[in-house]
Chain A
Amino acid sequence: MDAIIQANGLTKTYAQGEAAMRALDQVTLDVRQGELMLLVGPSGSGKTTLLSILGCILRPTSGTLRVMGHEVTRMAERDLPAIRRERIGFIFQAFNLFPTLTAAQNVALALDLKGISGRAAHTRAAALLEQVGLASKLDAYPADLSGGQKQRVAIARALAGDPPVILADEPTAALDSHSGRAVMDLLKTLAHDRGRAVAIVTHDNRMLGYADRTVRMEDGRIVADTRRESGFGIQDLAEGAVA
């Protein structure tokens, strides 16, 4: 599988008064096409910071990040939105849907960012919602949808730009187990059948079974990186990884 995102020696330091807090410490990682990767670890271990940097929302203090071969750490700030728009789809724990827009309009908004609007956007939004099983909810507002349905709208929105990378932050945290499994099934399908690279931050141990790869973080470092190789069991990838 090809690495779509390659992170090398990522460090992120936040100033805390006169001291500095290191949220990420020399993280090296790649995110591969067709792979569903889980980022796990305790609160404050740097998972969300890493996801933010992989999503080109946050800049690392040092280290390099390449997205589909482009080194984004050297890009100007004004060029990063285009990378996010074209190559990365985000899914959030709290869904982050626009409460004032219908399901179809929420998805169409993502298309509008790409310059697709009007009828073309509506048709594409309807098709995406149909893919996630919400063909009958095009005109429903988020307030009228269940948690699972909202997250599926968010997934449809993340797919609107047809991005090769999907980054999800606790996508099942606000869902019951049935809805959580449905969302994970969908994300797994995106990785395995559509060839997307899917990286998910999660605390939900029930989702570990979906992972092709599990990256465990503690104190800003990767302490274990294990990949489930089909037919070969679990393989440790990180040096000094904790099993």
Chain B
Amino acid sequence: MRPRISELAWRNLVHDKVRLLVTVTGVVFAVVLIVVQLGLFLGFTTTTSGLIDHSRADLWIMTSRVPYIEMGVPFSERKLSTVLATPGVAHATKYIVRFSQWQRRDGQQESVQVVGFDPEQRLGGPWNVVEGRIGDLKLADNVFVDELYKEKLGVSRVGDVFEIRGRRARVAGFTRGIRSFTTSPYVFTSFKSAQDYATVPEDQTVFILATLDPSARVADVRRALLTNVRDIDVVTTGEFSRMTRVYWMFTTGAGVAVLLAALLGLVVGVVVVAQTIYATTMDHLREYGTLKAMGATNGYLYRVIIQQAIISALFGYTLAMAVSWFVVRGSVKGGAAILLPLPMAIGMLGLTIVMCTGAALVSINKVTRLDPATVFKG
């Protein structure tokens, strides 16, 4: 590649700083729009299966045909002993996820999802604990809630006491960033307390979480469990996570709406970028025509235009990522998580370059079909 081409592309861009600003602003707008929409989709998707993904369990045992985590149906906890006796199972514990009612001090009722787990084994317990210790949940009636929902639940500090379905609940600690996809916040407590809060009969559980021996094969253990334990389904954490995500994202239509918004963001972004890059190319149309008259090949012109597009893409992407970083940080304390994982950030770089070069290709078509009269007329 000849350096002169880069120099021409670079100088064409930076010569008109207002035009460059408009182009880069267009790219920034498009990239931020796409990042926010995709980040929201990713945030929603991740949120729906957050409990499962952080459970540290290998297998989830539940009644047959449970489509997603919120739809677990209580079953006899005596199956736990059979599970524990199955070869390959290292640990197993009872687990509850059930909707219940939280009563604020002002009497207002809020729907919550009670998460009951064994604080000793910690499978399925809270993560990102910022105040209190998980061990505190061994005490009856102690609960953890997330900082995000303090206001919703009327909680101000550790030690505040409320009622869940008429039973005492004392806030013993806080987590950070554990969102619920439904509008009902998670309330972590011991399995025993959860049975009371969620009216699960004493001899029943909603799930059994199991971890496997390192040497055990998942398929073998699952087959053994299905043989040994009646009327249950056994799914891996990954499978259950996918089932839950698919249900919330696609079966309910919630995710489709977010995904469509993301696609709309992509389309709007592409159009904005295409328009700005196209306008930039049109601004230099006479120069491209001159180059063509001077004997520049189409390949030479393509390189100039595409390099300009890539330079615009890199400028725009860098600024957009800075803006997105603030948006993502701002969302941490907001109602909806916007996620921007590294692979997505790298993917966005590729997408930005593709968008800009794609937009440039539209204008290249114009350049290659230049009317010679535009070259010769003053």
Contact = CB atoms under 8 A, between A and B. Distances in A.
Contacts, number: 91
B295 A52 contact: no
A90 B376 CA distance: 9
Contact of B290 (A48, A96, A114): A96
A219 interface: no
A93 to B, nearest CB: 4
Interface string A5-41: 0000000000000000000000000000000000000
Nearest to A90: B293
Q: How many residues of A sit at the interface, in one of the four size bands? A: 35 or more
A217 B106 CA distance: 96
B290 A92 contact: yes
Interface stretch (B7-15, B83-91, B119-127, B358-366): B7-15
Nearest to A174: B378
A240 to B, nearest CB: 28
Interface residues on B, range: 20 to 34
Interface string B281-310: 000001101111111111010000000000
Interface string A89-112: 010111010111100010011101
Contacts of B293: 55, 57, 84, 90
Nearest to A105: B7
B377 interface: yes
Contacts of A81: 292, 295-298
Interface in B1-45: 2-5, 7-8, 11-12, 14-15
Contacts of A118: 3
A96 B377 contact: no
Contact of A112 (B2, B297, B378): B2
Contacts of A78: 297
Interface string A57-86: 110000000000000000000100111111
Contacts of B14: 100
A212 interface: no
B372 interface: yes
B287 to A, nearest CB: 6
Given A90-B294, A96-B287, A109-B8, A117 B376 contact: no
B289 to A, nearest CB: 8
Given A85-B295, A157-B294, 17 more contacts: A58-B372, A78-B297, A81-B292, A83-B295, A84-B293, A90-B294, A92-B375, A93-B377, A96-B287, A98-B12, A100-B11, A100-B15, A101-B11, A113-B300, A117-B4, A121-B4, A170-B378
